[in-house]
Amino acid sequence: MFTHHAEARMQQRGISQQAVDALMAYGEYRRHRGAEVCYFTRQSRSHMLKDMGKSAFLKLEKALDAYLVVGDDGAIITAGHRHHRLKF
């Protein structure tokens, strides 16, 4: 489930539904400022490569720096690209 804000940001930032699905399946979650932040780590990327195969992994290469902010109700609040290291 997406908020209207998340849908708008995904479209503006070029984050596909496949990238969101991969983040939800393989990403690591950390609590930050009252919400869960989901992002890829080196370990989660290697698991994703092993499970998906190289061709499918390379199609999502642009989304490897993406992150999601997920609310307590499970709704995706926003999505974006990391330009700096996430600090927790």
> Tens digit of pLDDT for each residue in 54-65?
999 998 888 899
Edge-to-edge strand list for the sheet holding 66-70? 28-32, 35-39, 66-70, 76-81
Going by C-alpha positions, the residue among 17, 25, 32, 26 that lies closest to residue 79 is 17
Instruction: Note the pLDDT tens digit of each residue in 16-49.
Output: 999 999 999 999 999 998 899 999 999 999 999 9
Residue 84 lies in a domain: no
Instruction: For residue 85, name the pLDDT band (cuts at 50, 70, 90).
Output: confident
Residue 62 lies in a domain: yes
Domain that holds residue 57: 4-79
Residue 26 lies in a domain: yes
Cα 48 from chain centroid (whole Å): 13
Total domains, the chain: 1
**Which tokens belong to 70?**
């997920």
Residue 86 lies in a domain: no
